[in-house]
Amino acid sequence: MAFLALPIALQAQRGRKFDPLPPKEGEFAPPPMPRAKDMEKGSPAAILLDKKKKLQLSDSQVTVLQMLRRASADSSAATYATWDSVRTDVLIAGKSTLVDPDSAQVRQRRLMAVVQALRARNAWARNQALQVLTEDQKPKAKEYWDDEDKENQKWMRSRGGGGGRPAGQRPRAS
């Protein structure tokens, strides 16, 4: 079962307490999956708030971004709860020696539905945050989000991102 890299889930950066270290060579490697509470810390508004001095955000911009961060977290609560449920199922299944293809397909479909929902919410939150910024601040904000995405993709690769293949094996060329 091939889980794709999860750019949506890749919004978690600060204070990570993710899954244990990657398995040893030849062991099954479930996909790296951050906890929902860690993903919330990397929301688009949170990233901008962390960079408020560099972005030179005004007090009113900070206030609006804080409200956006809370609103985004509140509206995503059910999706994050589903994420944690699917995450737990995937991690437990990854430790099992028995493979049930039907259960694996159900988990993958649930995971993909949550991933799509989180991607959509992330895109919405970025668009909302951009509306708060001046034209001079927008390119820098996009750069910070791009840096965050790259950092998270790097973390995924270091953890055997792509999941489902034994640790240490390279992904097949597309």
DSSP state of 6: -
Between residues 17 and 124, the one the model is more confident about: 124
Highest averaged pLDDT of the listed ranges 71-75, 90-94, 104-108, 129-133: 129-133
pLDDT tens column, 59-81: 999 999 999 999 988 888 898 89
Between residues 36 and 169, the one the model is more confident about: 36
In a domain, 4, yes or no: no
Measured N-to-C along each axis, helices 59-75 and 101-132 cross at an angle, to the nearest 10 degrees, of 160
In a domain, 48, yes or no: yes
Tell me the mean pLDDT in the region 118-140.
Answer: 94
Tell me which residue of 16, 27, 35 sits closest to 163, measured CA to CA: 27
Query: Structural domain of residue 93, as residue ranges?
Result: 32-138
In a domain, 8, yes or no: no
In a domain, 61, yes or no: yes
State residue 102's pLDDT score. Answer: 73
In a domain, 134, yes or no: yes
In a domain, 19, yes or no: no
Q: What is the mean pLDDT of the chain?
A: 76
In a domain, 171, yes or no: no
pTM to 2 decimals? 0.67
Q: Cα–Cα distance between 7 and 5 in angstroms, integer?
A: 6
**Cα Dmax for the chain:** 56
In a domain, 67, yes or no: yes
Domains held by the chain: number: 1
User: What does residue 166 show for φ and ψ, rounded to 5 degrees?
Assistant: -60, 145
| Predicted confidence (pLDDT) at residue 120 exceeds the cutoff of 50 | yes
